[in-house]
Amino acid sequence: MKRIITLAALACLAVGAYAQQALGPGTGIVSPEINPDHTVTFRYFGPKAIKVQVTGDFLPTRAVEYEVEGHKLTFDAPGVADLKEGPKGIWEYTTAPLTGELYSYSFLVDGVRTMDPSNIYQNRDIATWTNIFLISANEGDPGWYYSVHDVPHGSVSHQWYDSPTLGKQRRLTVYTPAGYENGKAKYPVLYLLHGSGGDEEAWSDLGRTAQIMDNLIAEGKAEPMIVVMPNGVWFNQAAPGEAVNMFQPTMQNSRSQSTAEIEESFPDVMSFIENNYRVAKGYANTAVAGLSMGGRQSCMLSLSYPKKFGYVGLFSGVAVPDGNEAAFDAVFAAHPKLYWIGCGKSDGIMVNSRKLKEWCDSRGYPVTLYESDGGHIWRNWRTYLTLFAQQLFK
């Protein structure tokens, strides 16, 4: 009987959570709590749970290998820590002090992945929602750049454009720097491409692009620029909920099987931007960069249009020189201002990243390879954007 009453009470709470706009007290539990020493306490109400754990990227990682289309990749799986049951069915765990970063986590309640019901901050990556928290900490920490500070803010706009090449309307995201609306100046453009399974909201949401750009520009570390984040999957017109079909994103249905489509359709994106924004055009004012699939797409775009992009950023995604030698020769014949590769040391893509770097070195082509810790993860891509953006249009 006691169990029945408890279930009824919990169901009632759950139903209460539906009361829109005039109720919604949350759980009454603070989780995560960022303590003054930058330790973080997680709490979970689970009076019936046998085991409650937290898994997150702030815990010691372990490398997990896997294979996609013949590529051996590695990712750093986050560790797991046990919460301890305290009074009133509230479980608790406190981390070691953490540095300024954007961290991801979820709970494992009796082994089942469960979102933290006390934390409304979460991100979707492909088909998985994950709770997040942000430690701003010291200026210069990655997390400091991902936080909103009291600096002039740019705008983030979701627009639609016609792609005659693909025969459809498509959606893209545009960051314009503070002052754009009120001014008359023309701005250089960074085209920033997402990875497989991503969409035109990936860089603005998971990537914290607006916050990074606002903070870098306010500090004088980056030039004011327009950042264009298109959808790089030719058969999707837009992000889930913004497209005509209510699709469930998966690696299968969101992976662009070849990059040929983007090479053909990308001029549609550029002409929309150049016709609708105050753009400083030309090689020295145009950059392209992307992560994973978007890195490979950026590389292929540079090969297809060697005189278009004066700055190229390949984040955990490259094309190999084999078979592309003449195209790479053409790229470097145009003397790019920056050809920058970022890759994690435990990322399977590192093999090809080093191969490209070595081949370019052997020809005397100036390429930067930035080797970070970690693998094929968003934490790296935010860092690469922060580093890459500071080198543009100077």
Return the residues of window 93-152 that contact its own copies according to CB under 8 A.
104, 106, 108, 110-115, 117-122, 124-130, 133-134, 147-150, 152
Structure tokens at 178: 């503070």
Point out which residues pair with 114 in neighbouring strands: 107
Q: What angle do CA 160, 162, 165 make, to 5 degrees?
A: 140
Cα separation of 185 and 157, whole Å? Answer: 19
User: By C-beta, is 329 or 373 nearer to its own copies?
Assistant: 373
Closest CA to 33 of 112, 135, 182, 113: 135
Do the beta carbons of residue 278 and residue 383 sit within 8 Å?
no
| Interface stretch with its own copies, choices 52-60, 225-233, 261-269, 299-307 (CB under 8 A) | 52-60
Point out which residues pair with 359 in neighbouring strands: none
SS3 content of the chain, % helix, strand, coil (to 5): 25, 30, 45
- Considering only 250, 271, 361, 363, the residue that binds its own copies (CB under 8 A) is 250
Closest CA to 227 of 237, 235, 217: 217
Helix (H) or strand (E) holding 210: helix 209-218
| Interface stretch with its own copies, choices 35-43, 233-241, 257-265, 318-326 (CB under 8 A) | 233-241
| Interface stretch with its own copies, choices 50-58, 263-271, 323-331, 334-342 (CB under 8 A) | 50-58
- Considering only 145, 328, 378, 393, the residue that binds its own copies (CB under 8 A) is 378
Q: Which residues, 344 to 373, sit near its own copies by CB under 8 A?
A: none
The CA–CA distances, whole Å, from 99 to 95, 135, 162, 256, 376 equal: 11, 7, 44, 36, 20
- Three-class secondary structure of residue 362 per DSSP: helix
Does residue 18 interact with its own copies by CB under 8 A? yes
- Considering only 85, 90, 141, 160, the residue that binds its own copies (CB under 8 A) is 160
Does residue 17 interact with its own copies by CB under 8 A? yes
Does residue 271 interact with its own copies by CB under 8 A? no
Letters for 174-213 (x = contact with its own copies by CB under 8 A, - = none) are ----x--xx------------xxxx---------------
- Considering only 7, 96, 260, 284, the residue that binds its own copies (CB under 8 A) is 7
User: By C-beta, is 99 or 250 nearer to its own copies?
Assistant: 250
Least distance (Å) between residue 194 CB and its own copies: 9
Question: From the centroid of its chain, how far is CA 281?
Answer: 26
Q: Which residues, 60 to 99, sit near its own copies by CB under 8 A?
A: 64, 66, 68, 73, 75, 77-78, 80
Does residue 313 interact with its own copies by CB under 8 A? no
Structure tokens at 295: 């890195």
Structure tokens at 300: 């292929």
